[in-house]
Structure 1
Amino acid sequence: MLTLRDITVRLGGRTILDGASATLPQNGKIGLIGRNGAGKSTLVKTIIGELEPDGGSVEMPRRARLGYIAQEAPSGTRTPFEAVLEGDTERTALLAEAETCTDLDRLGDVHERLIAIDAYTAPARAARILVGLGFDEEMQGRPLDSFSGGWKMRVALAALLFSEPDVLLLDEPSNHLDLEATLWLENFLKSYPRTLLVISHERDLLNTVVDHILHLQAGRLTLYPGDYDSFERLRAERAAQAAAARANQEAQRKKLQDYVARNSARASTAKQAQSRAKMLAKMQPIAAMAEDPSLSFDFPSPNELRPPLVTMDLAAVGYEADKPILRRLNLRIDPEDRIALLGRNGNGKTTLARLLARQLQPMEGSLTFSPKIRIGYFTQYQVEELPANSTPLELMTRAMADKPPLAVRGQLGRFGFSGNRATAETRTLSGGERARLALALVTRDAPHMLILDEPTNHLDVDAREALVQALNAFEGAVILVSHDRHMVELAADRLVLVDGGTAENYDGSMDDYIDFVLGRNQPKAEVGGGKPAEPAKKPAGLSRDELKALRKKVTEAETRMKRQQAQLAALDAALADPARATGEFKGLAIGELGRRHAAATAALEEAETIWLEASEAHDTVMGKVA
């Protein structure tokens, strides 16, 4: 059991953690969440002893082993396989002792312990973990220094998982993984036999793996039972309760203020007025649940272009003239296409994205772009390479040198950079804010095609939802590379599998692909056969405009559902206390409030029915129904 008791941490004169307390259940799987900059990594550093808290304590059983990934990736001439085996330090020490021990009694104890910790099956376990994280047999035997930083971090993760600590701490473990490795990791963590504390913004991981949500907000911790969806429901209920309590308190405050104002000057009531004034002074305001008003994505709409935007005919692409990475590419991209590129890292997804972004030229075949096409290409490197001492306003002004200041400010405002945030130095921005700034820069000229390579790595759960909504509202084509399958499922309606040295349409759903990756079935698409890729099957006679209308119907129904849910929440609060009703419900009788509530409930049910029917129809069109 891990107990956090009144943890306070101050950094740079700012309080990051303020009396944070929680008791984590033994062998529980806890998802640590919070907005970017809330202090999640600070809390983990405090738990592992890297930061000394200004107050409070971290308590856990004396012999409990704590495991986390060090910031420095493993390196040297060791192989990934050797590095993972060394991750179990007890096994390594016991094996070394068994080689040199001359005390027969001690040697017997050593071998007994080796059997108890399954030391002799360790090589097979290490190999399975490495395969799950994307290392084939050849890669497992290469020296670590031959790998990139991202692959080295996978080795560090594999070594940590192999060591099976009593408390496993993971900080955004999927950031260096592709979708396939992320799926494997989720399945591994689901069956992890000890305590897990994971920082993640992956909704699917938080719903699939964890059984508790630890929410960090305003320096405090709150533990919720259940997965992320359950947390969202509970948080919404608490928000409604807090709003009701705050409204009641405000009404009481006004009564007290009115009494004090009317009775302070009268001798007969001055004493009572003074008493109420003291009550008023002691009344602590009930805080509203914090929301981020700057959470914003709004892609500018491009002018219309006739289809196709891009066509490839037996194209090949690579980095060395005689060694193409991808061959026989036959793809067509039209306006409003929503395409997700699937496939393991190293198969060529980023290479294909760079070809579409005109950063690479085809080695063979033909690649044709619409003459007036504008392309926006987002990568993680753009986020990491933003100048530290510049401001969003300065960067956008340079990028839009031919535009008036009003247009520059307008583009920044689309992504939440207004007022002081537009003039804050980039080094002071959170990871999510830097990602929004990079997106603002690459979309400044309203591109017809938006290529996003892992856009969610710096975004929290709420920001990812905002990005999905913005992509669905975007009127251009989208090419998406992401390990966040929740985003892929919501934002893409066409899947392209990059595998076997080529890229072809995957004639199946994300569920089919997930089953294939996890070994539950075979892919529905044949890849690498050299034949031109066929578009995903659609019902006869269904035009692109009809598809667009279907997608729009789903989005409109979702909007109606959210609006009706908000109205029901306001009506529930008004029915609980009509005196604090606001807006259109203020002054209404209980009977009228009840009639409004019934109408809103019926409207919500109708919107849910429309959404369900439209979603099923859309899924059928895009191959989700056989």
Structure 2
Amino acid sequence: MFTLDAISLRLGGHVILDRASAALPPRSRVGLVGRNGAGKSSLLKLIAGVYELDGGRIEAPSGTRIGYVAQEAPGGSATPFETVLAAAEERAALLAEAEHAMDAHRIAEIHERLNAIDAHGAPARAARILAGLGFSEEAQHQPLETFSGGWRMRVALAALLFSEPDLLLLDEPSNHLDLEAALWLESFLKTYRNSLIVVSHERDLLNHVVDYILHVDHGKATLYAGNYDQFERQRRERQAQAAAARASQEAKRKKLQAYVERWRYKAHTARQAQSRLKALSRMEPIAEALDDASLVFDFPSPKETKPPLLLLEDASVGYVPDTPVLSGLDLRIDPDDRIALVGRNGNGKTTLARLLAKQLAPMTGRIAASGKLTVGYFAQHQIEELVADDTPLQHMERLLPGAKPGEVRNQLARFGFSGDKVSVAVRQLSGGERARLSLALITRQAPHILILDEPTNHLDVDAREALVQALAAFAGAVIVVSHDRHLLGLIADRLLLVADGTVREFDGSLDDYRDSVLSVAKSGKGNGKAPGPKVNRKEKRKAAADARERTKALRKAVVQAEADMKALTVRRDALDADLVNAAPTEASALMKQRGALTRDIEEAEARWLEASEAVEAAMSEVYA
């Protein structure tokens, strides 16, 4: 049993953890979740011994080996393979002792222990882990100093996995990984034999790997049995119960307050009024789940344009003359496309994204774009390029010269920046807020195509879910590079494999691609193509275009119904605000207006549902 007993932590004068407690069962695999800034990483550092407790105790079984990735990436002339092997400290010490041991009995003990820890199989196991994390056989034997920081962090992760600690601590292990390495890591952790605590915003990893969720919120920790989806259900139930309790408490508070106001100054009832006043003062408010601006994503709808949006014919692209990164590119992008770019890091996914975003011109071949095509391109580095001392409002005004103040603020409000938040300096914004600001900036012209390169890196699980929903509602094309399989599974219906210097359609689903990646990682062979029958992509693309043309009126109806629902809901919310302070004589008329608005909303919802189902049915025939 691993126990957190009333632990407290303060950092920079702020309370991060406040007498938080939890008892983790032996050999449990725990997902550590919570909103950004809740204290997840800090808790992990407390367990690892990096931070010292301000109160409470952390108890673990005697002799527990705790493994945690250091902040600094390994470097120097050692190779990844040598670094990973060196992580098995007991093996290294025994081998060194065996070279000089003279006593026959001790030599026998050493070899018996080496056999017990499978020391002779260690080199093969180290190579498999490195290969799973994306290192080719050649790369495994190159000096660490020749790798970037991200690749060296992969080596640190490989060394930690290889060492097999009794308690494995992982803090966002997918952050430096591509989709392929993230898939392998998930597969590896599923079979990890010891205890595991992982901080992650990857919903699929939390669903497939862990059997407990430890939720950190407002300084406290609550343990839930099950995976992330089961935790979500339990949390919603608790929130519903809290909302019901809050409503009951508010009704009781109003009743007490009314009694006090009426009778507190009457002599014969003053005592009773005073007792109720004391009851009011002792009534602890029940926490309310407030609307969270960090969950606001609303992509503006582009103007309708005829397909194709983009057409590449035998194009090549690169950075050095006569040395293309990708060549032989034949690609068509249509308005309703939802595309995931897959393939190992370094194969050219970002290069292709930059070509489609018009940041690179083709070296050879042809690229044709539709009419007044606009593209919104989100790159990982854009968050770091925001001006630290400028506000979101200043950033947007700079990119929308001549726009009315209301238009500028409306675009920021689509991504959760309203009120005083538009005037906060970027340096004071969290990573997730900066990501939302970047998305607000790149979509200011209602682009026809969104190209997103790892958009979820700074978002927590709830914010990622909000982003998925916003992308699903977006009326244009989406092209995404991401290691978040949950996002890809819900958004992408077309996979483009970037490998071997070119791009080709992947004939299969995301699950097929996962199986292919894991099969290749296990066998060390294969070309990355998923098994299964071939499909005629040309015919399928034509059928999809025909289906889009047939459903044009229906899709317009969907957009109109969505707009109606949004406008009507805004009016009803405003009416609700008026009702709070309305006089009894006004309340009846306002309630009638509210009833009419509710009926209109329900009618708009019915129109939206009918049109959406018709569109989905037409398109499902194509993608069945």
Matched residue SS, 2:138: helix
- Given candidates 543, 546, 551, the residue that maps to 2:547 is 543
Aligned to 1:136: 136
The residue correspondences of 1:560-571 to structure 2 (distance < 5 A) are none
| Matched positions, count | 583
The residue correspondences of 1:309-320 to structure 2 (distance < 5 A) are 309-320=309-320
Matched residue SS, 1:214: strand
Matched residue SS, 1:307: coil
Matched residue SS, 2:90: helix
Q: Which amino acid aligns with 1:523?
A: A
The residue correspondences of 1:365-444 to structure 2 (distance < 5 A) are 365-444=365-444
Q: 1:167 to 1:535 in 2, by over 3 A?
A: farther
Matched residue SS, 1:325: strand
Aligned to 2:350: 350
Aligned to 1:336: 336
Shift of 1:524: 5.3
Per-residue CA deviation, residues 587-618 of structure 1 (Å, 9 max, x unaligned), is 9xxxxxxxxxxxx9xxx9xx999999987875
Q: 1:621 to 1:470 in 2, by over 3 A?
A: same
Aligned to 1:164: 164
Q: Which amino acid aligns with 1:305?
A: T
Aligned to 2:502: 502
Q: 1:611 to 1:96 in 2, by over 3 A?
A: farther
The residue correspondences of 1:89-488 to structure 2 (distance < 5 A) are 89-488=89-488
Matched residue SS, 1:250: helix
Per-residue CA deviation, residues 393-416 of structure 1 (Å, 9 max, x unaligned), is 222222223323322222211111
Per-residue CA deviation, residues 310-341 of structure 1 (Å, 9 max, x unaligned), is 11111111222232221110001122322111
Shift of 1:346: 1.6
Q: Which amino acid aligns with 1:13?
A: G
Per-residue CA deviation, residues 515-556 of structure 1 (Å, 9 max, x unaligned), is 2222299525899xxxx9747567599422357789999999
> For the residues of structure 2 that align with 1:548 and 1:187, how far apart are their CA atoms?
42
1:450–1:477 CA contact under 8 A, matched in 2: yes
> For the residues of structure 1 that align with 2:156 and 2:557, how far apart are their CA atoms?
46
Q: 1:144 to 1:294 in 2, by over 3 A?
A: closer
Shift of 1:180: 1.4
Per-residue CA deviation, residues 216-263 of structure 1 (Å, 9 max, x unaligned), is 111111111111111111111111111111122222222322333333
Matched residue SS, 2:176: coil
**Range that drifts further, 8-17 or 257-266:** 257-266
Corresponding position: 1:25 with 2:29: no
Identity across the alignment (%): 61
Shift of 1:619: 5.4
Aligned to 2:622: 621
**Range that drifts further, 110-119 or 413-422:** 110-119
> For the residues of structure 2 that align with 1:439 and 1:524, how far apart are their CA atoms?
37
Aligned to 2:530: 523
> For the residues of structure 2 that align with 1:253 and 1:121, how far apart are their CA atoms?
69
> For the residues of structure 2 that align with 1:284 and 1:542, how far apart are their CA atoms?
61
Q: Which amino acid aligns with 2:547?
A: S
Q: 1:55 to 1:79 in 2, by over 3 A?
A: same
Corresponding position: 1:51 with 2:58: no
Aligned to 2:63: 63
Shift of 1:350: 0.9
2:547–2:618 CA contact under 8 A, matched in 1: no
Q: Which amino acid aligns with 2:392?
A: P
**Range that drifts further, 38-47 or 228-237:** 38-47
Matched residue SS, 2:479: strand
Q: 1:428 to 1:102 in 2, by over 3 A?
A: farther
2:311–2:367 CA contact under 8 A, matched in 1: yes
Per-residue CA deviation, residues 102-159 of structure 1 (Å, 9 max, x unaligned), is 3444333332222221111111111111111111111111111221221111111111
Q: 1:5 to 1:406 in 2, by over 3 A?
A: same
1:505–1:534 CA contact under 8 A, matched in 2: no
> For the residues of structure 1 that align with 2:203 and 2:494, how far apart are their CA atoms?
21
Q: Which amino acid aligns with 1:178?
A: D
Q: 1:232 to 1:97 in 2, by over 3 A?
A: same
> For the residues of structure 1 that align with 2:184 and 2:542, how far apart are their CA atoms?
31
**Range that drifts further, 290-299 or 208-217:** 290-299
Aligned to 1:576: none
Shift of 1:38: 1.4
Q: Which amino acid aligns with 1:47?
A: I
Q: 1:620 to 1:26 in 2, by over 3 A?
A: farther
Shift of 1:185: 0.9
> For the residues of structure 1 that align with 2:554 and 2:32, how far apart are their CA atoms?
37
Per-residue CA deviation, residues 561-581 of structure 1 (Å, 9 max, x unaligned), is xxxxxxxxxxxxxxxxxxxxx
Aligned to 2:572: none
Q: Which amino acid aligns with 1:339?
A: I
1:330–1:533 CA contact under 8 A, matched in 2: no
1:8–1:55 CA contact under 8 A, matched in 2: yes
> For the residues of structure 2 that align with 1:558 and 1:405, how far apart are their CA atoms?
25
2:355–2:361 CA contact under 8 A, matched in 1: yes
Matched residue SS, 1:185: helix
1:506–1:525 CA contact under 8 A, matched in 2: no
1:211–1:227 CA contact under 8 A, matched in 2: yes
Q: 1:243 to 1:44 in 2, by over 3 A?
A: same
Shift of 1:372: 2.5
Q: 1:524 to 1:124 in 2, by over 3 A?
A: closer
> For the residues of structure 1 that align with 2:550 and 2:345, how far apart are their CA atoms?
35
**Range that drifts further, 107-116 or 344-353:** 107-116
| TM-score, structure 2 normalization | 0.86
Q: 1:312 to 1:43 in 2, by over 3 A?
A: same
Q: 1:73 to 1:550 in 2, by over 3 A?
A: farther
Q: Which amino acid aligns with 2:459?
A: L
> For the residues of structure 2 that align with 1:96 and 1:555, how far apart are their CA atoms?
71
Matched residue SS, 2:381: helix
Q: 1:251 to 1:272 in 2, by over 3 A?
A: same
1:507–1:536 CA contact under 8 A, matched in 2: no
1:558–1:611 CA contact under 8 A, matched in 2: no
> For the residues of structure 1 that align with 2:306 and 2:532, how far apart are their CA atoms?
29
Shift of 1:557: 13
Per-residue CA deviation, residues 464-517 of structure 1 (Å, 9 max, x unaligned), is 111112212222221111111211122222221112221122232222222222
2:80–2:144 CA contact under 8 A, matched in 1: yes
Matched residue SS, 1:458: coil
> For the residues of structure 1 that align with 2:49 and 2:538, how far apart are their CA atoms?
56
Q: Which amino acid aligns with 2:326?
A: L
2:555–2:612 CA contact under 8 A, matched in 1: no
1:412–1:440 CA contact under 8 A, matched in 2: yes
Matched residue SS, 1:137: coil
2:202–2:484 CA contact under 8 A, matched in 1: yes
1:32–1:214 CA contact under 8 A, matched in 2: yes
Q: Which amino acid aligns with 2:235?
A: R
Q: Which amino acid aligns with 1:253?
A: R
Per-residue CA deviation, residues 414-434 of structure 1 (Å, 9 max, x unaligned), is 111111211112122111111
Structure 2 regions of 5+ residues with no counterpart?
A: 521-527, 564-586, 592-601
Structure 1 regions of 5+ residues with no counterpart?
A: 560-582, 588-599
2:379–2:452 CA contact under 8 A, matched in 1: yes
Q: 1:7 to 1:619 in 2, by over 3 A?
A: farther
Q: 1:319 to 1:522 in 2, by over 3 A?
A: closer
2:551–2:618 CA contact under 8 A, matched in 1: no
Q: Please, what is the CA RMSD of the aligned residues?
A: 3.4
Shift of 1:296: 1.0
